[in-house]
């Protein structure tokens, strides 16, 4: 199975930042409710998402192939 993180919906930077921010907020909520296992899992998803969508993201090919 291929790992495809380049989707046209995620090309704008603000959408990727909102996605990572929502995951981080969810992690904080889990910590506040005293569930460290879920906070750890969501924190790991947040870290992976930050790497994949903010550091290693490449724009989709649909956005770069503009004809017309």
What DSSP assignment string belongs to 16-58?
Answer: HHHHHHHHHHHHHHHHHTT-HHHHHHHHHHHHHHHIIIIIS--
Top-confidence residue, 33 or 4: 33
**54 contacts 12 by C-beta, under 8 angstroms:** no
pLDDT in tens, 30-50: 999 999 999 999 999 999 999
Give, to the nearest 10 degrees, the angle between helix 13-32 and helix 36-50: 160
- pLDDT of 66 strictly over 60: no
Buried b (16+ CB within 10 A) or exposed e, 45-54: ebeebbebbe
């Amino acid at each position: 199975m291929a790992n495809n993180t380049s989707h046209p919906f995620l090309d704008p930077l603000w959408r990727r930042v909102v996605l990572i921010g929502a995951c981080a907020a969810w992690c904080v909520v889990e910590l506040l409710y005293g569930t460290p296992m879920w906070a750890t899992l969501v924190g790991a998803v947040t870290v992976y998402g930050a790497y994949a969508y903010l550091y290693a993201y490449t724009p989709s090919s649909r956005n770069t192939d503009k004809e017309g």
